[in-house]
Amino acid sequence: MKLVPSSSLPSLFNQCAWLVPVLAILSLTSIAQAVPSVVNPNFDSSISNTYTVNSSHAGNGWYAPGDTSWSRYLIQDGNAAVRDPNITAQVANKKSLLQVINDGQSTTGGAGFIFSVLSDDAGSANELVVEVYGVNSFSSGFTTGGNAVDGNAVLLGMLNTYLAGQEFTRTRYYMPVDFESGYNYIVLKFTAKLTNTSSVLAVDSVSFVTPTNGTLPTFPFPQAVEYPYGFKPSNYNQVSQNKHVQDTWENFQDTYFTQTDTVYDGEWRVSRVNQGDDTVSEGIGYGMLFCVLMDNAENNTRPLFDGLYNYYLRRLNSNGLMNWQYARDEYDNLPAPYTTDKADAADADEDVALALVFAHLQWGSDDGIPYLDQARILINRLEDKVCKANSYNLFQSGSKATGDYWQNISYYAPAWYRVFASVTGSTYWTSTVIPSCYTEIEYFYDNNDYDARGLVPDWHDPRDYGPATSHPNYSTGKIAYEHKYDACRVGWRIGTDYLWYGTTSDALAYDSPYAIAEYLEDITSNDPTDITTYSIPAGTKLTNYNVTSLTAPVGVAAMVSSNFTSWRNQIYTALVTEYQQPDYDAYFARCLQLLSMLTMTGNFPNLWEREPSLIDDGGFEEGGTAWSFPANAYIASYNMNSGNYSARMNGNGAWSTIGQSVAVSANTEYECTGYLRTLGLDASASAKIRIRWYNSSWGLLGTSPVGEIGPNDFYTYKKALVTSPTNAAIARVELVITASTSGTAYFDDIRLRHP
The answer to whether 556 and 602 are in contact (CB under 8 A) is: no
DSSP letter assigned to residue 430: I
Domain spanning 3-209, CATH architecture: Sandwich (2.60)
Question: Across the chain, what does the average pLDDT equal?
Answer: 84
Q: Is the pLDDT of residue 340 over 70?
A: no
CA atoms within 13 A on the CB side of 673: 18
At 343 the pLDDT is 85
pLDDT in tens, 377-426: 999 999 988 998 777 778 888 887 755 567 899 999 999 999 999 998 89
The sheet with strand 185-193 has its strands ordered as 20-27, 185-193, 127-135, 154-160
pLDDT in tens, 179-208: 766 788 888 887 776 666 666 778 888 888
Please give the radius of gyration of the chain, using alpha carbons only, rounded to the nearest integer: 28
The answer to whether 354 and 289 are in contact (CB under 8 A) is: yes
CA atoms within 13 A on the CB side of 658: 30
When pLDDT is cut at 50, 70 and 90, the band that residue 607 belongs to is: very high
pLDDT in tens, 497-539: 999 999 998 999 999 999 999 999 999 999 999 999 999 999 9
Contacts of 638 (CB under 8 A, 6+ apart): 646
Name the residue ranges covered by the structural domains of the chain.
Answer: 3-209, 238-609, 633-753
Q: Which amino acid is at 13?
A: F
pLDDT in tens, 127-146: 777 888 888 899 988 877 66
CATH class of 633-753: mainly beta
pLDDT in tens, 703-723: 999 999 999 999 999 999 999
When pLDDT is cut at 50, 70 and 90, the band that residue 474 belongs to is: very low
Q: In Å, how far are 446, 617, 753 from 660, measured between CA atoms?
A: 55, 10, 14
Contacts of 41 (CB under 8 A, 6+ apart): 205, 206, 207
At 391 the pLDDT is 77
CA distance 335 to 156: 6
pTM of the model: 0.88
CB atoms < 10 A from the CB of 427, how many?
9
At 657 the pLDDT is 98
High-pLDDT (> 70) share of the chain, % = 83
pLDDT in tens, 223-239: 999 999 999 999 999 99
Q: Same CATH fold, 633-753 and 238-609?
A: no
Mean pLDDT calculated for residue range 730-747: 97
CA distance 735 to 650: 12
Lowest mean pLDDT among 495-504, 566-575, 609-618: 609-618
CA distance 314 to 316: 6
At 195 the pLDDT is 64
pLDDT in tens, 629-687: 999 999 999 888 888 899 999 999 999 999 999 999 999 999 999 999 999 999 999 99
At 405 the pLDDT is 66
High-pLDDT (> 90) share of the chain, % = 55
pLDDT in tens, 9-63: 233 223 333 334 445 554 443 334 567 788 888 888 888 888 888 888 878 888 7
CATH of domain 238-609: 1.50.10.10
Please provide the DSSP assignment of 560-580 as one string.
G-GGGHHHHHHHHHHHHHT--
For 283, phi then psi, to 5°, come to -65, -35
CA distance 232 to 308: 30
Please provide the DSSP assignment of 225-237 as one string.
PPPSSS----SS-
The answer to whether 109 and 33 are in contact (CB under 8 A) is: yes
